[in-house]
A and B are shown apart, each in its own frame.
Chain A
Amino acid sequence: MYMILSLPGTDILTPWAFSKHLEYTWTRAAILTQFVQAGSESSPCELDQRTPLLSSHGSLCTQSFGGTYSGHSNATSPKNMGHGDHVVDQVARSLYVGYRNNATMDPAWFAAVETICMLNGCAMIHEALDTQIMKSYIWLQTVDGSIQQVEQEIAMFCPMICHEVIQKGMGSSKNYAISLPQQVNPAVLSLILDYCRFHQVPGRSNKERKSFDEKFIRMDTKRLCELTSAADSLQLKPLVDLTSRALARIIEGKAPEEIREIFHLPDDLTEEEKLEPLKNATDDPRIRLLNRLYAKKRKELKEREKLKNVEVDEELVDDRSVDDLLSFINGDDGDSKGIKTSKSKRKNRRRKDLLKSTSAHEATKNHNKESNGLNSVCRSAEVGQILPGVDATTNLQDVEDDIFPNKNEFDDGDIDDEIDPTLKEKIDREVEDFARRLNSDWPERMQEILSLGQEKKPVHLSLNGKGS
């Protein structure tokens, strides 16, 4: 009957924690249940013995077992027994003393606790003990081993610390300091405590709080990340939200390269992974087409890689000879604008221009598909070099449009789809052939391809100067 209340150790709880523990553990229902049980087991007169007596002097004492835990008041009228009455104070205090003196096995002690809980509610005990002059401190230990004490109302603002104190009774002395998670180093802890110190005061207006928050988060990104991590480990959600919002504001709208720099991220996705096929559960034909496009782009990338590796040294020479060749072929138009093939760094941009210029030859839809597809290649090939700016943004925006298929481009082009992929496959095959046969006879090979290209695929290389 007396075992409802189980307290950790005897000298661990501070008065405040003790009262909190009572409040936490005891409910009126529990107490009443006990009394009902007592009623069924014992005779009525025992119950009477447990009811508190109000003496004419307004003192409350428990009759049973000699009234060891009692308090007296000088008030003449019993009506003065009420909320926050100092008699309750005294009883509460004597209960606490009893607890500290190992009285928890004493039935009388329990009886007194039960009585006062039932009469006044646990909150009163809490209030009584809480108003003691002695301020309570909580002991915290950070990951580096250093221990400090913090005012309880500030520390208890953190749910994790609160939990440790109430559920496990930790933190009341240096030996029982609460070990904080490893994300909380002393510098970050001091920031968190500043935050708690401000916000735990109930009387502040929303405007004040907001203003404090705005000033509070003005710190460098690294510190913000540490703070988020620490606040998260202490389960201090309002602070996590605040810092997360600040970090979100920092990264939104930035290009991937910038974000990588801010957060020191490795660029460890391969080009292939960046072109990873979209998973699509609804088997949308547009997504299927897009995945096919991606697969082709991946192949093209591979070719380009191979080509790049071989011809790096000869680039300058090659360009010139290509120009010569083409101006010869074109009969001295001299316009080498659209000539460069898939070799130079700006190749992707040029190809886009080329394709745009030859759109007269193809259906507009094809052109859209091509250029968007190329934009995705642009993105993947140049993503390491994108600088913030209009170009980069448009590229990325185009890419996003590409990832999420635009109705227009794919809607009624089914007939065209039959033609275009085969043509593209031809192109791919030719590129592959070219790559395979590549050797030191670079200029000759180039000439070969160009002459082939002139017949079969005006799409790839705008050999007519007028094509632009």
Chain B
Amino acid sequence: MEITKVLPDDCISLIISLTSPRDACRMALLSHAFNSIADSNAVWQMFLPLDYIHIISNSSSPPSLLSLPKKDLYFTLCYHPILTHNGDMKFQLEKENGKKWYMVGARALSIQWVDTPRHWTWISLPDSRFCRVAKLKNVGRLEIKGKVKLNTLSSNTNYEAYFVFKLVRDRYGFRHTPMELDVSIEGTAAREVRSVILDPPRNMPQQAKERADGWLEIEMGEFFNGFENDRTVEFSLREDHDDQPKRGLIVQGIELRPKHKHNR
């Protein structure tokens, strides 16, 4: 009994779409029949987020993206993030499961004193997808906040929030003073608070990790996006105790990544 003779193509599509993108890629290698089904739009459409058309139409990307075969579109979105929300957010897909992955750019964050040239300046860096990132010139108290509506993200998913930044050579204020990181879902008890040092001396453990794109990231916290997601998740990074001058931090944004599962 060969399965392709027993089951109609759309049943096989349904079965493949209930596995994972990785499995679907493997299944394209099984046999001729599976090759065309596993690569079909019917399957890959199921891996794309439900509102992918809406997201792409409201992004800065050309609408011709939508005319790609769905498998190509899926991987284009995995490897080539697009800018959405008027250039304020960067969107891509998590390759393993097609979940949404956003970075809230510095422009969309509420950074205290960011519009005062004496304290912060907007610069353009080639290794950031955003037009501009915020560079800290001098503040005494640091406060960076952001919020995202939960219905923007994939439901039924665990997300991790990361603060994405760089430190320039002449920086100060981050070596010994801990920053308070806070991730909470407004209106619920879900909240995570951490205290980290962004720029510890060499003999101390580094909490920030280097990213593939050359920036640093530090985990702010985790949250779970359930099904009833009309709430907002809020993040903040704060240092407002010691009033010492701080300088030399470049903020790209806060990234919300689906947490990677290693089972299944």
Interface contact A252-B264, CB-CB below 8 Å: yes
- Name 25 A/B residue pairs within 8 A (Cβ), A-sorted: A225-B1, A225-B7, A228-B7, A232-B7, A232-B11, A244-B11, A244-B18, A247-B15, A248-B16, A251-B23, A252-B23, A255-B26, A256-B27, A259-B27, A263-B3, A265-B3, A269-B32, A273-B35, A279-B69, A281-B67, A281-B69, A282-B68, A383-B29, A400-B25, A404-B75
| Bound: A248/B20 CA distance, A | 9
- Interface size on A (CB < 8 Å)? 42
Question: Which residue of B is nearest A403, CB measured?
Answer: B25
In the assembled complex, which residues on chain A have CB atoms less than 8 Å from the CB atom of B75? 404
Residues of the A chain whose Cβ atoms lie less than 8 Å from the Cβ of B2? 263-266
CB–CB B8/A232 < 8 A: yes
What chain B residues lie within 8 Å of A282 (beta carbons)?
68, 72, 76
B74-104, CB under 8 A of A: which get 1 and which 0?
0110110000000000000001000000000
Q: Does B206 have its Cβ within 8 Å of any Cβ on chain A?
A: no
Taking A265-B2, A265-B30 as contacts, is the C-beta distance between A252 and B8 under 8 angstroms? no
Interface size bucket, B side?
A: 35 or more
Q: Is B4 an interface residue (CB 8 A)?
A: yes
Contacts of A240 in B (CB 8 A): 11, 14
From known contacts A252-B23, A253-B23, A266-B2, infer whether A244 and B31 are also in contact, taking CB-CB under 8 Å. no
Give chain B residues whose Cβ lies under 8 Å from the Cβ of A222.
1
- Complex interface residues of chain A between 269 and 286 (CB less than 8 A to chain B): 269, 273-274, 279-282
Query: Does the CB pair B72–A268 fall under 8 Å?
Result: no
The answer to whether B29 touches A407, judged by C-beta atoms less than 8 angstroms apart, is no
Contact of A244 among B15, B22, B29, B79 (CB under 8 A): B15
Known contacts A265-B33, A267-B31, A396-B26, then 13 further A-B pairs from the complex at CB < 8 Å, ordered by chain A residue: A225-B7, A228-B7, A229-B7, A244-B11, A251-B19, A253-B264, A255-B26, A264-B2, A269-B35, A273-B35, A281-B72, A282-B68, A282-B76
Nearest Cβ on chain A to B63's Cβ, whole angstroms = 13
Q: Which residues of A contact B15 (CB under 8 A)?
A: 228, 244, 247-248, 251
Complex Cα gap A408–B16 (Å) = 30
Contacts of A256 in B (CB 8 A): 26-27, 29-30
Q: Is A226 an interface residue (CB 8 A)?
A: yes
Ranked nearest first, the 10 interchain pairs of A and B with the lowest CB-CB distance are A248-B18, A263-B3, A252-B19, A265-B31, A244-B14, A244-B15, A247-B15, A225-B6, A264-B2, A248-B19
Nearest chain B residue, comparing its CB with the CB of A273:
B35
A280 to B72, CA, bound (A): 7
A226 to B5: give the CA distance in the assembly, Å: 10
Query: C-beta contact mask, A129-150 vs B, less than 8 Å → 1, else 0?
Result: 0000000000000000000000
* Contact with B20, one of A252, A267, A269 (Cβ below 8 angstroms): A252
The answer for the CA separation of A26 and B10 in the assembled complex, in Å, is 36
Residue A8 CB within 8 A of the other chain: no
Asked if B212 CB lies within 8 Å of chain A CBs, one says yes
Q: Is A163 an interface residue (CB 8 A)?
A: no
Query: Shortest Cβ distance from B78 into chain A, in angstroms?
Result: 7
Any A CB within 8 A of the CB of B34: yes
Closest to A222 in B: B1
In this complex, what residue of A is CB-closest to B2? Answer: A264
Partner-A contacts on B (CB < 8 A) = 1-4, 6-8, 10-11, 14-16, 18-20, 22-23, 25-27, 29-35, 67-69, 72, 75-76, 78-79, 95, 212, 264
- Cβ of A334 < 8 Å from any Cβ of B? no
Within the assembled complex, what's the spacing in Å between the Cα atoms of A263 and B3? 5
The residue of chain B having its C-beta at the shortest distance from the C-beta of A404 within the complex is B75
A396 — which chain B residues lie within 8 A by C-beta?
26
**Which residue of chain A is the closest to B31 with respect to CB atoms?**
A265
In the assembled complex, which residues on chain A have CB atoms less than 8 Å from the CB atom of B22? 397, 400
In the complex the two chains form, what is the Cα distance from A265 to B37 in whole Å? 14
**Smallest distance from the beta carbon of B125 to chain A beta carbons, Å?**
15
Measured CA separation A255–B26 after assembly (Å): 7
Asked, given contacts A252-B264, A404-B79, whether A265 binds B23 with beta carbons under 8 Å apart, the answer is: no
A255 and B15 CA atoms in complex are apart in Å by 16
**Does the CB pair A264–B1 fall under 8 Å?**
yes
CB distance from B91 to the nearest CB of A (A): 16
User: In angstroms, how far is the closest chain B Cβ from the Cβ of A378?
Assistant: 13
With a cutoff of 8 Å between Cβ atoms, the chain B residues found around residue A268 in the complex are: 31-32
- Bound-state CA distance A76–B6 (Å) is 65
Q: How many Å from the CB of A379 to the closest CB on chain B?
A: 8
A220-256 CB mask vs B (1 if < 8 Å, else 0) is 0010011011001000000011001101100111111
When the two chains form the complex, which single residue of B3, B23, B31 contacts A269, counting CB atoms closer than 8 Å?
B31
| Cα-based distance from A412 to B99 in the complex (angstroms) | 28
A260 within 8 A of B: yes
Give the CA-CA distance A267 to B34 in the complex, in Å: 10
Interface assignment of A405: CB less than 8 Å from any CB of chain B: yes
Interface centre among B8, B29, B264 (most CB of A within 10 A): B29
Residues of chain A contacted by B26 (CB below 8 angstroms): 255-256, 259, 396
Report yes or no: A407 in contact with B212, Cβ–Cβ below 8 A: yes
Within 8 A of B (CB), among A51-87: none
Return chain B residues, CB-CB under 8 Å to A247. 15
Which single member of A241, A264, A281, A407 contacts B3 (CB below 8 Å)? A264
* A241–B23 CA distance with the chains assembled, in angstroms: 19
Closest to B78 in A: A404
For A228, give its contact among B4, B11, B23 (CB under 8 Å).
Answer: B11
- Given the interface contacts A279-B69, A282-B76, A404-B79, does A229 sit within 8 Å of B8 by beta carbon? yes
Q: What chain A residues lie within 8 Å of B67 (beta carbons)?
A: 281
Q: Quote the shortest CB–CB distance from A435 to chain B (angstroms).
A: 27
Alpha-carbon distance A222/B2, docked complex (angstroms): 9
Q: How far is the CA of A247 from the CA of B7 in the complex (A)?
A: 12
Across-interface contacts of B32 in A (CB, < 8 A): 268-269
Check A225 against B79 for contact (C-beta < 8 Å). no
Q: How far is the CB of B43 from chain A (nearest CB, A)?
A: 11
A207 to B224, CA, bound (A): 24
- For B29, what are the chain A residues with a Cβ–Cβ distance below 8 Å? 256, 269, 274, 383
How many Å lie between the Cα of A264 and that of B10 in the bound state?
19
Closest chain B residue, CB of each to CB of A408: B212
Instruction: Give the residue name and chain of the B residue nearest to A270 (CB).
Output: B32
Least distance between A256 CB and chain B CB atoms (Å): 5
